[in-house]
Chain A
Amino acid sequence: MVRGGKMSRVDQPSMRGFSACLALIRRDLTLTFRSPGQAINPMAFFLMVATLFPLGIAPDREVLSELAAGVIWIGALLAVLLSLDSLFKSDQDDGALDQLLMSPHPLPLLVLAKVFSHWLTSGFCLTLMAPLLAIMLHLPSEAFSPLMMTLLLGTPVLSLAGSIGAALTVKVQRGGVLLTLLSLPLYIPVLIFATGAVNAAMQNMPYTGHILWLSVFLILGVCLAPLAIAGALRVINE
């Protein structure tokens, strides 16, 4: 190879957007793997919320099983918010965000890849942890599967909707509280339907409707949120 030669570029008709997305996901997962604190802290927070509720209310089995779905979901919601703060901010701080914005690939696509890797390291891990919390809070066994289903469908929506707020506050110093304020109204529908499904299951009622609505939110989120996030990132970095 020639010393100091150049790499060749893919010809324009074959834009490799998918390969760029994979590279981005791989990069973000590697980063999380190398400094796992970013992913572990929200999980520890999740566990702590589940510990504090029985201490603050009552260790009573009846009361806790009533509250369990809500506590787990609120804990997951806050944990996701906690992890969202650094999603774009770390890229903004070291200048990597400029490279993202300068990419010839569609920004919404790249953003979707970033949100996906965020979900893998936050929402997905929280979902895996949820059964442990469900046992701690005496969630009835018939509610386990709806809880897991709602978490699997709902936490990606939390990542997507919250990323809009994260993009808007990317240049705000100590923007954590603002991020919470911007994201909570977007989280309310998810919270309502997710806890609704678990509570319906606990009363032996059908919960398919809830699950379907959560799927609708997920589809809406995947279609619309990347556009808003990309728009926000461009606007803030003008």
Chain B
Amino acid sequence: MLNVVQLSCERDDRLLFSNLSFQLGSGEILQIEGRNGAGKTSLLRIIAGFSSSLSGDIFWNDQPLSTVYADFRLDCFFLGHKPGLKLDLTPLENLVWRARLSNTIINREVLLAALDRVQLAGYEDIPCSHLSAGQLRRVAFAGLIASPARLWILDEPFTAIDIEGVSWLERLFDEHTHQGGMVLVTSHQPLNDRQGKLRKLNVEHFGEERSVDGERGQDVQG
């Protein structure tokens, strides 16, 4: 279980958010909202453990995150803006190196089945450079499907995905939470709440109403 207590983030003298707290338990989806630059990505990256300089506390299974990084990373799948795929490798090869890095036992059948589920069956031996942006996303989702991680941290997963893909991804979330998984996701699009498991958190509510912007404006004029 993920427990975030009184988190604050400051980037280059700009307070993105402060006193942000939430809990994410087994079987829950949390959608992070907020306009561009509100700090959605920063929040996800802090929680994923990329940044060690933060004020506030993050607990993973009631332990401070900084003491259980390895444990946390074993159980967490992070998918950022970029799908993190090597274009010269085939989808299958990409899935294999990523699984090895996250300490997973490779099972070719499972990986092929996952590629089949993202409608990329038959593409497993074609270099990723031949795939479209949407197809690359799907390859990354195949990794998600096959991964044993319980916590999914997804930054704007709906980019380059068609409408069908969106509802498909929502079903995937439902399935994952049904099995006790957790999903932390940022998105501009409103997600459909199918089973009452979805909660939303707007980062902007934790930001200060910036007097900073006003000052900047004056700087430009002066």
Contact = CB atoms under 8 A, between A and B. Distances in A.
Are the chains A and B members of one assembly?
Answer: yes
Contacts of B117: 3-4
A234 B45 CA distance: 12
A103 interface: yes
B88 A35 contact: yes
Interface string A1-38: 11111111110100110011011101100110011000
A145 interface: no
Contact of B110 (A1, A10, A237): A1
A63 interface: no
Given A3-B116, A4-B114, A105 B101 contact: yes
B101 A103 contact: yes
Contacts of B73: 102-104
A102 B76 contact: yes
A105 B103 contact: yes
Contacts of A103: 73, 101-103
B50 A237 contact: yes
Nearest to B85: A94
Q: Contact residue range for chain A?
A: 35 or more
B211 interface: no
Given A7-B105, A8-B148, A102-B78, A1 B84 contact: no
A95 interface: yes
A101 interface: yes
Interface string B97-128: 11111111111011101101100000000010
A212 interface: no
Q: Contact residue range for chain B?
A: 35 or more
B146 A7 contact: yes
A24 B98 CA distance: 9
Interface string B41-63: 00001001111110000000000
Contacts of B169: none
A85 B127 CA distance: 24
B101 A7 contact: no
Given A27-B97, A31-B89, A99-B98, A8 B105 contact: yes
B193 interface: no
Contacts of B82: 93-95, 98
Given A12-B74, A24-B97, A27-B93, A96 B105 contact: no
A86 to B, nearest CB: 13
Residue from B69, B100, B146 whose CB has the most chain A CB atoms within 10 Å: B100
B80 interface: yes
A7 B100 CA distance: 11
A60 interface: no
A92 B189 CA distance: 27
A43 interface: no
Contact of B101 (A8, A24, A35, A237): A24
B84 A99 contact: yes
B86 interface: yes
A35 B89 CA distance: 10
A110 B98 CA distance: 13
Nearest to B98: A99
A99 B95 CA distance: 12
Nearest to A22: B100
A17 B96 CA distance: 15
B100 A20 contact: yes
Given A7-B106, A7-B148, A8-B148, A19 B83 contact: no
A110 B102 CA distance: 12
Given A23-B96, A95-B84, A238 B51 contact: yes
A26 to B, nearest CB: 8
28 contacts: A1-B109, A3-B113, A4-B145, A5-B110, A6-B147, A7-B111, A23-B97, A23-B100, A24-B97, A24-B100, A27-B97, A31-B88, A34-B88, A94-B85, A95-B80, A95-B84, A98-B82, A102-B76, A102-B78, A102-B102, A103-B102, A104-B70, A104-B71, A104-B74, A104-B103, A105-B103, A238-B51, A238-B52
Interface of A: 1-10, 12, 15-16, 19-20, 22-24, 26-27, 30-31, 34-35, 93-96, 98-105, 110, 234, 237-238
Given A7-B106, A30-B89, 5 more contacts: A6-B145, A7-B104, A93-B82, A95-B83, A102-B102
